[in-house]
A and B are shown apart, each in its own frame.
Chain A
Amino acid sequence: MGKLLTKRIITCLDVKDGRVVKGVNFRNLVDKGDPIELARKYNNIADELVFLDITATNEKRKTILDLVTKLSKSIFIPITIGGGISSIDDIRNVLLAGADKVAINSGAIKKPHLIYEASNIFGSQCIVVAIDVKLVDNKYTVFSNSGSIDTGIELISWIKLVETLGAGEILLTSIDTDGLKQGFDIIMLDLATQHVNIPIIASGGAGAIEDFIQLFQYTNVDAALAASIFHNQEISIDNLKIEMRNAGLEVRL
Chain B
Amino acid sequence: MIGIIDYNMGNLRNVVNAFEKIGEDVRLIKNPDQMNELDKLVLPGVGAFGSLMQFLDENNMRDKIIETIQSNIPFLGICLGYQALFEKSEESPGVRGLGLLEGKVVRFSSGKIPQIGWNMVNSIKIDLIKSDYYYFVNSYIPKIADNSYIAATTDYYGSFVSAIQIKNIFATQFHPERSGRVGLDLLRRWVNC
A positions within 8 Å CB-CB of B? 1-6, 8, 43-44, 47, 69, 72-73, 76-78, 95-101, 120-126, 168-169, 197-199, 222-223, 252
B155 touches A3 (CB 8 A): yes
B positions within 8 Å CB-CB of A? 8-14, 17-18, 20-21, 46-48, 51, 111-120, 133, 135-139, 155-159, 175, 177-181, 183-184
Note all chain A residues with C-beta closer than 8 A to B139: 123-125
**Contact of A125 (CB < 8 Å), options: B12, B116, B118:** B116
Closest residue of B by beta carbon distance from A8 = B117
Cα–Cα, bound, A173→B142 (Å): 35
Q: How far is the CB of B175 from chain A (nearest CB, A)?
A: 8
Cα–Cα, bound, A2→B116 (Å): 17
Closest residue of B by beta carbon distance from A196 = B112
Q: How far is the CB of B151 from chain A (nearest CB, A)?
A: 18
Cα–Cα, bound, A98→B9 (Å): 11
A5 touches B114 (CB 8 A): no
Q: Can you identify 26 A-B contacts, CB atoms within 8 angstroms?
A: A4-B119, A4-B156, A5-B116, A6-B133, A47-B117, A72-B17, A73-B17, A73-B20, A73-B21, A76-B17, A76-B177, A76-B179, A76-B184, A77-B179, A78-B178, A95-B9, A98-B14, A121-B48, A121-B51, A122-B46, A122-B47, A123-B47, A125-B137, A197-B112, A222-B112, A222-B116
- Asked if A44 meets B137 with Cβ closer than 8 Å, knowing A6-B119, A97-B13, the reply is no
Note all chain A residues with C-beta closer than 8 A to B175: 78, 100
- Asked if A1 meets B14 with Cβ closer than 8 Å, knowing A125-B138, A198-B113, the reply is no
B116 touches A77 (CB 8 A): no
Closest residue of B by beta carbon distance from A253 = B133
A2 touches B159 (CB 8 A): yes
B119 touches A72 (CB 8 A): no
Closest residue of B by beta carbon distance from A100 = B11
Note all chain B residues with C-beta closer than 8 A to A5: 115-119, 136, 156
10 smallest CB-CB distances across A and B, nearest first, come from A2-B155, A5-B117, A252-B133, A44-B180, A98-B13, A125-B137, A125-B114, A252-B118, A6-B118, A95-B10
- Asked if A199 meets B117 with Cβ closer than 8 Å, knowing A72-B13, A97-B13, the reply is yes
A199 touches B180 (CB 8 A): no
**Contact of A100 (CB < 8 Å), options: B14, B21, B111, B133:** B14
Note all chain B residues with C-beta closer than 8 A to A8: 117-118
Cα–Cα, bound, A63→B161 (Å): 37
Of B11, B17, B113, the most chain A CB neighbours within 10 A belong to: B11
Cα–Cα, bound, A6→B175 (Å): 16
Note all chain B residues with C-beta closer than 8 A to A197: 112-113
Note all chain A residues with C-beta closer than 8 A to B138: 125
Q: How far is the CB of A3 from chain B (nearest CB, A)?
A: 6
Note all chain B residues with C-beta closer than 8 A to A124: 114, 139
Closest residue of A by beta carbon distance from B8 = A96
B21 touches A168 (CB 8 A): no
**Contact of A126 (CB < 8 Å), options: B10, B111, B181:** B10
A95 touches B178 (CB 8 A): no
Cα–Cα, bound, A223→B115 (Å): 13
Cα–Cα, bound, A51→B115 (Å): 21
Cα–Cα, bound, A47→B113 (Å): 19
Closest residue of B by beta carbon distance from A168 = B114
B117 touches A6 (CB 8 A): yes
Closest residue of B by beta carbon distance from A46 = B180
Closest residue of B by beta carbon distance from A6 = B118
Note all chain A residues with C-beta closer than 8 A to B156: 4-5
Note all chain B residues with C-beta closer than 8 A to A101: 137
Cα–Cα, bound, A73→B17 (Å): 6
Cα–Cα, bound, A5→B136 (Å): 9
Cα–Cα, bound, A125→B11 (Å): 12
Note all chain B residues with C-beta closer than 8 A to A125: 46, 114, 116, 137-139
Cα–Cα, bound, A72→B119 (Å): 22
A123 touches B48 (CB 8 A): yes
- Asked if A169 meets B116 with Cβ closer than 8 Å, knowing A78-B178, A122-B9, A126-B137, the reply is yes
